[in-house]
């Protein structure tokens, strides 16, 4: 394989590992939130889907907030 092919393989591997780490982090958050909802009295599918919706909403809102603050404080050129 050429050098360029190896570079692409390495970049693809790094992206695959980063995706796997992100999926594991998301799964851990989902399980923690489900346990919290189960402890509060919700159970079964309600706890699972509630945890899923909460986890996605929280992740999305934190990304929007960080993007907005970056845009708001960068001076226009």
Q: Radius of gyration (Cα) for the chain, nearest Å?
A: 19
Q: What is the dihedral of CA 48, 39, 61, 57, to 10 degrees?
A: 20
Q: So where are the chain's domains? A: 3-72
Q: Render pLDDT for 11-55 as a digit per residue (tens, 0 to 9).
A: 999 999 998 888 888 888 888 888 887 787 777 777 778 778 887
Task: Return the half-sphere exposure (C-beta side, CA atoms, 13 A cut-off) of residue 55.
Answer: 22
Question: Does the reported pTM lie above 0.75?
Answer: no
Provide the CB-side half-sphere exposure for 11 (13 A, CA): 6
Residue 61: both structure tokens together: 């809102």
CB 59 within 8 A of CB 26: yes
């Amino acid at each position: 394989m050429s050098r360029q092919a190896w570079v692409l393989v390495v970049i693809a591997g790094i992206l695959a590992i980063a995706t796997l780490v992100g999926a594991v982090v998301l799964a851990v958050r989902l399980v923690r939130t489900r346990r919290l909802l189960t402890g509060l009295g919700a159970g079964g599918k309600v706890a699972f889907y509630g945890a899923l919706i909460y986890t996605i909403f929280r992740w999305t809102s934190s990304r929007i907030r960080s993007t907005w603050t970056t845009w708001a404080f960068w001076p226009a050129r």
